[in-house]
Chains A and B, each alone.
Chain A
Amino acid sequence: MSLKNWTKRHESQLKELRYTGFLIRRNMLIMTGFIIVGIMVLMGILAPYIAPYDPTDMQFSQRLLPPSAGHLLGTDDNGMDIFSRIVYGIRLDLLIAITVISMVGVFGTILGVFSGYYGGKLDEITMRIADIFLSFPYLLLAMAIAAVLGPSIFHSIIAISVTWWPIYARLARGATLSVKEREFVEASRAIGESNIYIIFKHILPNIIAPVLVQATLDMGNVILEAAALSFIGLGAQPPQPELGLMISVGRNFMRDYWWVATFPGITILVIVLGFNLMGDGLRDLLDPKVRRSLL
């Protein structure tokens, strides 16, 4: 009874949702993105059940074995199973990316919305600070911060977050500027709503779509950057199963034992590609004009 009621009240949204599903299925690239991301997330969640070995279990008798039935993707120089390490690596990198994106997304968006909405001095100051951060190549700045803090995963998360928020602040500010000029905001003020209410009830819901798209696209970018920091030794430390770190280790054996670096590399490629395809797809799906052309 109550479920029936609920479906009736949300009829138009459910229809919309089903239609979106239909559009996704029709478009190979978007579909691929969603499938890759889905598989990766599942692998991350189910890592303990998928991985045949402990990712940090060193078996020195089994160093640098080529891919075989026993070790699906071979072993590395410490005799650790590469497939297991990749599965756990996906989990670790996804966790890093989710942590960074959720922190940066929330903080940057709120800052951007407030500075866009109130304008004036607050806006001027936040945007100039954002400019300072954006004027550095972000990997360089993240490297500097990570180097100062000392190498660890936690510090690399902080380093990436510190360099990443301006993107969201900018994005949210720009979107806010255009939304706050719309008449429904004026109407809300005429009713006597407070600014805080207007920001959370009218502005945020209307700017969230581009922020979500950016967040999805950035998942891939953050994974790349986290891997890069680990690669140069400023992020994860051995024997942690981190994809960038695995490439960095495998690099030394590239000539004779190609599988050590190659498989983690392919994994990063696939994850980032998946998030990019999904992000592009979301952008198209959320834009009513492009949406029509997806059919």
Chain B
Amino acid sequence: MERPLLEVRHLVKYFPIRRGVFRRTVGWIKAVDDISFDVYEGETLGLVGESGCGKTTTGLTILRLEEPTSGKVVFQGKNLAELPPEEMRKERRNLQIIFQDPYSSLDPRMRIKDIVSEGLLSHNLYDRKRRVKVVGDLLQKVGLSPEYMNRFPHEFSGGQRQRIGIARALALNPKLIVCDEAVSALDVSIRSQVINLLEDLQKEFGLTYIFIAHDLSVIKHISDRIVVMYLGKIVEVAPKKNLFDKPLHPYTKALISAVPVPNPDFRKHRIILQGDVPSPANPPQGCRFHPRCPNAMDACRTQEPQMVEVEDGHFVACHLYKG
């Protein structure tokens, strides 16, 4: 198999909990706790999990918008986590991000032209005239008229703003784009348009996406492979078809059973999980899912399950499955 575009190895991100006058660190939020996965060139990797499981932190840490606590993020052979600032700055051209909220991801005081060309300016690409042309082309690529470039963000709808955000991410001609809940804030009709746009752009520019979402139907539509996270850990990694046809981990099963089916006559068996997600400041011993797991055994309470490859490319971290 080819070498992955991005290898994440034992990535850890803890946030300190500070209290009191002297801001002493009294504990750690274990947002991302030792996760490893690969992203191959040209694929879309879906990252799912419920709120607070560390999906977004994973995305931000890969781009080093948050400094990783430990672990490696190897992008095209370079470990981003250890890159000196100046080299990291150069590398940022290859790694971009699209945000969830199109209302806060565009600076309200800047023109569309300036927002989209910010990266070009920052990396000293092209002269002024050429930049304007590039911005126009980009706007056209994302389905907006180039005439809009002199306008301000408040003159656009949510879907249009998200397109502008996509144009900004594309401006530097990146290889990898992290879509952090990129379509969650859009309403359903706009959502499918933006997803189609993302897919078209992927074909055209050979982009690789890490697609973070909590909406399984979106993930199912766009992803090639899927990573399921729970409380800072990866519980299952599988190609899309395997995951939806044959989920292995009890958590994944519960997630998939919760996807609504648009057929009122269809009654399927739903797995309702008991209790709440435990606090990431004090995660359960052993398997983090055991307090809510319908199949919990003794081993789950004490031993942390290791990732095992059950089928080709289908990994799961659960004591129910042994190699």
State the A residues within 8 Å of B (CB).
9, 11-12, 124, 182-184, 186-193, 197, 202, 205-206
Contact = CB atoms under 8 A, between A and B. Distances in A.
Nearest to A11: B150
Contacts of B89: 192
Interface string B186-229: 00000000000000000000000000000000000000000000
A202 B107 contact: yes
B151 A186 contact: no
Contacts of A183: 99-101, 104-105
A287 to B, nearest CB: 13
A12 B151 contact: yes
Interface in B95-135: 95-97, 99-101, 104-110, 115, 118-119, 122-123
B93 A192 contact: yes
Interface string B165-195: 1001000100000000000000000000000
A202 B108 CA distance: 9
Given A9-B150, A12-B151, A12-B155, A190 B105 contact: no
Nearest to B97: A190
In the complex, the 8 A-B pairs of residues with the closest C-beta atoms, listed nearest first: A183-B105, A192-B92, A205-B109, A191-B119, A192-B89, A183-B99, A184-B107, A182-B104
With most chain A CB atoms within 10 A of its CB, the pick from B65, B101, B118, B151 is B118
B234 interface: no
A197 B107 CA distance: 14
B152 A193 contact: no
Contacts of A124: 23
Given A12-B152, A191-B92, A192-B92, A184 B106 contact: yes
Given A12-B152, A192-B122, A187 B105 contact: yes
B317 interface: no
Contacts of A206: 107-109
B99 A186 contact: yes
B63 interface: yes
Interface of B: 23, 60, 63, 65, 88-90, 92-93, 95-97, 99-101, 104-110, 115, 118-119, 122-123, 150-152, 155, 165, 168, 172
Nearest to A189: B65
Given A192-B89, A192-B92, A192-B122, A187 B168 contact: yes
B95 A184 contact: no
Contacts of B165: 187
B101 A191 contact: no
A191 B109 contact: no
B96 A184 contact: no
Nearest to B96: A190
Contacts of A9: 150
B75 to A, nearest CB: 14
Contacts of A12: 150-152, 155
B65 A190 contact: yes
B155 A190 contact: no
A205 B93 CA distance: 26
Given A12-B152, A206-B109, A190 B95 contact: yes
Given A183-B99, A187-B97, A192 B104 contact: no
Given A183-B100, A206-B107, A193 B122 contact: yes
A186 B65 contact: yes
Contacts of B168: 187, 191
A163 to B, nearest CB: 26
Given A190-B65, A190-B97, A184 B104 contact: yes
Contacts of A202: 107, 109
Nearest to A188: B118
A187 B178 CA distance: 11
Contacts of B92: 190-192
Given A124-B23, A182-B105, A184-B107, 10 more contacts: A9-B150, A12-B152, A182-B104, A183-B104, A186-B105, A191-B96, A191-B122, A191-B168, A192-B90, A206-B109
28 contacts: A12-B150, A182-B105, A183-B99, A184-B105, A184-B106, A184-B107, A186-B60, A186-B65, A186-B99, A187-B99, A188-B107, A190-B92, A190-B95, A190-B97, A191-B118, A191-B122, A191-B123, A192-B88, A192-B89, A192-B93, A192-B122, A193-B118, A193-B122, A197-B122, A202-B107, A202-B109, A205-B107, A205-B110
A212 B150 CA distance: 26
A43 to B, nearest CB: 35
Contacts of A192: 88-90, 92-93, 119, 122-123
A183 B165 CA distance: 11
A206 B108 CA distance: 8
B104 A190 contact: no
A183 B95 CA distance: 16
A188 B90 CA distance: 14
A124 B165 CA distance: 35
A184 B108 CA distance: 9
Contacts of B122: 191-193, 197
B98 to A, nearest CB: 9
B97 to A, nearest CB: 5
B63 A190 contact: yes
